[in-house]
């Protein structure tokens, strides 16, 4: 379940399942990062850069930096909206601001930096020119 709220903010909806929670029915902290990953993946897909396209270009994206502020806990069966908004593009890096909300309540928010790397050598490489141009249009 994905939708775009504004040209700048991409929203991905999801439901919390039992596998996302701890014994108390609270979402385990690392799963917020998984939810954010899904939103970034769908953001890229909507803009023409699904996994198949990226792998055909011999690219990979790896998380370089994560800074997340956890505010409140999501619980079993909650419906959440996870946002992804570009806040930086430079060289081999894409920086996203992301939040996870239940209705109007922000449960977690943070900044995630991903780096573009060569698939075979696993070394940083500049974003392809076409990708950089398209993402700048979104930004």
pLDDT computed for residue 7 by the predictor: 57
User: 128, 118 in Cβ contact below 8 A?
Assistant: no
User: Three-state DSSP class for 56?
Assistant: helix
Report, as residue numbers or ranges, the catalytic residues: 22
pLDDT computed for residue 139 by the predictor: 76
Q: How far apart are the first and last CA of the chain?
A: 22
The enclosing domain of 45 has a CATH number of: 3.10.129.10
H or E segment and range at residue 110 = strand 105-118
DSSP label of 98: E
User: Three-state DSSP class for 135?
Assistant: helix
pLDDT computed for residue 3 by the predictor: 47
- The strand pairing partners of 124, in sequence order, are 117
DSSP label of 72: S
Q: Extract the runs of DSSP E, i.e. beta strands, from the chain.
A: 2-4, 10-15, 59-70, 79-90, 93-102, 105-118
User: 8, 85 in Cβ contact below 8 A?
Assistant: yes
Q: Collect all residues with Cβ–Cβ distance below 8 Å to 29 and sequence separation of at least 6.
A: 70
- Provide the residue range defining the domain that includes 119: 2-138
Q: Which two tokens stand for residue 3?
A: 């939708």
Domain count, the chain: 1
Numbers of helices and strands, H then E, in the chain: 3, 6
pLDDT along the chain (139 residues), means of 10: 61 96 94 97 91 78 96 97 96 96 98 94 91 89
User: 107, 100 in Cβ contact below 8 A?
Assistant: yes
């Amino acid at each position: 379940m994905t939708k775009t709220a504004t040209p700048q903010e991409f929203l991905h909806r999801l439901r919390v399942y039992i596998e996302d929670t701890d014994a108390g029915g609270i979402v385990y902290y690392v799963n917020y990062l998984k939810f954010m990953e899904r939103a970034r993946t769908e953001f890229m897909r909507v803009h023409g850069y699904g996994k198949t396209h990226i792998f055909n270009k011999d690219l990979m994206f790896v998380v370089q930096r994560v800074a997340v502020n956890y505010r409140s806990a999501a619980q079993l069966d909650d419906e959440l909206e996870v946002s992804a908004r570009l806040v930086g593009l430079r060289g081999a890096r894409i920086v996203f601001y992301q939040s996870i909300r239940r209705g109007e309540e922000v449960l977690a928010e943070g900044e995630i930096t991903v780096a573009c790397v060569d698939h075979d050598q696993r070394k940083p490489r500049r974003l392809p020119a076409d990708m950089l141009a398209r993402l700048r249009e979104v930004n």
